[in-house]
Structure 1
Amino acid sequence: MTTYVWNYLPEYEKERAEILDAVETVFSSGQLVLGASVRGFEEEFAAYHGVRHCTGVDNGTNAVKLALQSIGVGPGDEVITVSNTAAPTVIAIDGAGATPVFVDVKADDYLMDVDQVAAAITPRTKALLPVHLYGQCVDMAPLEALAAEHGLAVVEDCAQAHGARHHGRLAGTMGDVAAFSFYPTKVLGAYGDGGAVVTNSDEADSALRRLRYYGMEKVYYVVQTPGHNSRLDEVQAEILRRKLTRLDEYVDGRRAVARRYEEALGDLTGPGGLTLPATNAGNEHVYYVYVVRHPKRDEIIERLKAYDISLNISYPWPVHTMTGFAHLGYAKGSLPVTEALADEIFSLPMYPSLPLDVQDKVISALRDVLTTV
């Protein structure tokens, strides 16, 4: 059987009864859209983060888009972010009508190089959009200071950082608004698409609730401002309610998997060898993905296929190099660290229900390959 980076079936086998009960709860409730399950999840997710508001939406991409729109980002505005991210981050900025502006990432943690942000700010800059990538948070204090100095908003992309902390603060609680994805692979994943935006702003929350429901608010069928059809599904919300109670357990499981990798592969690190994930001071990593780095990445991945192991790359094509964003004008070499990472990083299997024998298979095969590559 082929080993993949992610597999939901071990978790489903363990939680099947509760997942099916969640489905039954919704189907027997008499309300299938924006009912008690969505309201309950919104209240519980907000409470988990210690914030005033949560608005459930249909996916993580729209969570970012609506978060931007809720604070007034639109055509003519610029949003500073990174190219080393999943394309939906940038698609959401474009979808809001704004222009993405990229800064490079750091070579040690692959996160936004906050020292480059000040130089990227222009009179058109409206928001800073740090991506808490791979499971740990961007260094937020400098961004918060820049935002305050220049009158900018901070929009956190937390799609990969549920439960992560930065100097004690949860991802999603450090900006003006924060977007989450509940795609099945996420640290807190649904059994389909889903997303949410959290905020302490009454104004942003009110805007979000209009935006996700066509632009309607108190009087249905009356559009106040054009919006979207971006509602969180009742079934997914009820499943997420059940899984939210185990979010910290999921995080602990991911950290245990990461520790086993570190213990088993640590002796293969060094110049020209394998680079394991680095956790920054003050960060509590949740290991959404376990990203490693090697100069012979492509050869390693190809040779692992002989062991029936299929690995993923997050991400092989930086967003600024994609044809769809060629109009932004970023030439090859403009973001050197991001481009170098794209040639060398790859992900090892990472999910809390990863069977030990499967992880051992990956470790053994990788050690075999690395000793002869």
Structure 2
Amino acid sequence: DRLSDALHDRLTQRFVDKSTAHLMMKLKDTPDLMAAVTASGDVVVEGHPVGHLKGFLFDAGGANGDAAGKAIAAAAGRALKGEFRRRVQALEQAADTNIALAPLDGRDAGTILWGGVPVGRLVKGAALLRPAVRVTASDLLDAQGRDRVVKRLERWVADHLAQLFRDLLALDKAALTGPAKGLAFRLREAHGSLPRVAVDDQLALIAKEARRDLRAAGIRIGRETVFLPALVRPAPAAMRGFLWCLAEGRRPVPPPLPGRVSLPAGRLPGNYWEQVGFRRFGKIALRIDMVERIAAKAWEMAKPGGKAGFEISPDLLSLAGCTTADMAQILRGLGFKGREVEGVLRFRPAARRDAHNAPAGSGKAKGRAKAKTPAPPAGPKVDPHSPFAKLKDLVLS
């Protein structure tokens, strides 16, 4: 078997050497070589296979030797010019449905596919919701062709993000004024969700009628979070998390699986969890809609308990899908104080708490100064011809 393998290798090398010599002679004789690309992407020059073309990336099949590498590169470079022009034009005319992103939970997260083949990838851009595009192509693709590919992919990415974050875009046309409009601006800055404590002063300035306008615009003002529920859905939440990783220069993190309401927080910071629709409480991260349900349930349980407080119930554990120790951490983060009473850990509201933690109908916090809502700063100048122009109001942070 070893003899057979060695013989096969020698014969293969002899064939490669002979093919390389033939190509080098042809290159000297004429600049025009007969070449073709098969349906499967194999590149054949003068009857000799010289490599494989996948999208705009040419693979010479590992021929890196001086003579072979130079001959194949030269032959492919001359022969593929026409094929690259054809493919660039085909990409420009391709329907958006033929372009897609690789799944964000896989090793190819951020890769842009055309017909299932990688042609580019998302990289850190000017802002979180405005990533840049890098073409996946050989040096054989000239600068003009590369530029045309980038523009087409940028246009697709801009349209894709505009659709994914359409509820944020819709805030621009919402009938909001004064402090309510300022709150919507803050929400756009945060890409769809932020802790209520961060905007409590601003919320105190918003009248009841304006709050109805906010609800009509899709904004939910919870006990703990102000957010757009539509952006907590798996697809936009996963994209927010991925883009956050790009903007922070971090390796992409697989998004939470749909249906999960709590996860180990690990070493990921609170800002990441906020982007994927979760809130971090110590060692556990809890989905923000579930934070609202648990906060409401805890305040309901606190009423009859009085000073004695309440125990962590099976209902609370079931809502969060977590351990008793994790729930204790969550309750403390929600403004409750835990202490042992006759060997049982009981919780009651902390003596001092923010207005946003108080039960509904308890009134405004006393002594809170009313601050004027600052006017939104002017956004950065955006080229109106850029494919990302429609996203300019989404990328102010």
Q: Structure 1 length normalisation: TM-score? A: 0.26
Structure with a larger share of its residues in strand: 2
Q: Structure 2 length normalisation: TM-score? A: 0.25
Which structure exhibits the higher relative contact order, with contacts defined as CA atoms closer than 8 Å and separated by 6 or more residues?
1
Structure with a larger share of its residues in helix: 2
- Structure 1 or 2, whichever has the larger Rg, is 2
